[in-house]
Amino acid sequence: MENDIKKWTEFDLFNQVPINIAVINRAYRIVDANSRFVDAFGVWEGKKCYQVYKNLKNKCRKCQAAMTFADGQIRVSLEKVRDQKGNLRYLRVRIVPYRDANGDITHVIEMSTDVTDRERALEQYQTIFNNVPCYITVIDQDFKIITANKYFWDTFGKDIGIYCFESYKKGKKICEKCPASLVFKDGRIHRSLQEGYDKKGNKVIYMVTASPYSKEEGKINYVVEMAIDVTKAFLLEKKFKEISVFQEVIIQNAIDGIIASNEAGLISLYNPSAKKILKYPTNKILGKKREEEIYPPE
């Protein structure tokens, strides 16, 4: 049977294809490999696949080849391996059973493509995606969350497939001013200030920007929402306004006259009690006169 495998691999195409190919027997020993495999992993003769790929002493814990030997199914997986220089590489591996004349699986053929650059780019993207200080969600046409970043899951709970209004607002219907629905309608970017509740029930105020994410034949399939938590700023502004209103009430109703000037020295504050004492009309005082001009002579 090893001779039959050898005949198969003697075709010139075996060494010309732009992928790694290794033929592995039931003992997980590599019995043949093409030149591209040799360029990537070096000497393979007499070695087992897990020694060449991963420098292990025993079979991989989730060995895809073992599964194919057991059920005869073709498998595709993403594997982390080490090349002959010890560099970490990512391979997209396709495992195909090789059967003898009796239909028994005697070998598996592993065909792999190096996808290291793509996987590293994806890792970098995922790192940025999960660590940006804003909520990111991808929503389908049914307003269900397809995916989201870690910042969102940590705040609102991880429920893939849940409706966005359920996750953000614990609601049961689409929001009245839903920016995502507007994007689906006109394909333009929309922004909105929204209020929701985190997984602990605390109010969250956020500024959301909704943009089209995927288009096919002019139809928008998904919307990506990016939301910034402005709860603290919003509450601080609200508190500041409350304090300002409170101060204004005190000033306007104070028994004593209160006058204040701006940086230019012109009067900017002139309460009713001051007007009553000094007898000057408000419209002739504010922004027009200095304090020393309205005080009676000593």
pLDDT in tens, 234-248: 777 777 777 777 777
Helix/strand/coil for 131: helix
CATH of domain 2-115: 3.30.450.20
What CATH superfamily classification does 132-232 receive? PAS domain (3.30.450.20)
Please report, for residues 153, 256, 291, the alpha-carbon distance to residue 265 in angstroms, rounded to integers and kept in the order given. 54, 21, 8
> What value does the mean pLDDT of the chain take?
86
More confident residue, 255 or 59: 59
- Give the Cα separation of 197 and 167 in Å (integer): 8
The band of 166, judged by pLDDT with boundaries at 50, 70 and 90, is very high
| Percentage of residues in the chain having pLDDT higher than 70 | 94
Helix (H) or strand (E) holding 137: strand 135-140
Provide the whole-model pTM.
0.58
Confidence tier at 164 by pLDDT (50, 70, 90): very high
Q: Are 291 and 267 within 8 A, CB to CB?
A: yes
pLDDT at residue 107 is higher than 90: yes
CATH topology of 2-115 equal to that of 132-232? yes
With 90 as the cut, is the pLDDT of residue 270 above it? no
Question: What are the residues whose beta carbons fall under 8 Å from the beta carbon of 142, sequence distance 6 or more?
Answer: 163
**% of the chain at pLDDT higher than 90:** 55
What radius of gyration do the chain's Cα atoms show?
36
Domain ranges of the chain: 2-115, 132-232, 254-294
Least confident among 116-130, 142-156, 196-210, 258-272? 258-272
* pLDDT of residue 5 exceeding 70: no
The amino acid occupying position 231 is: T
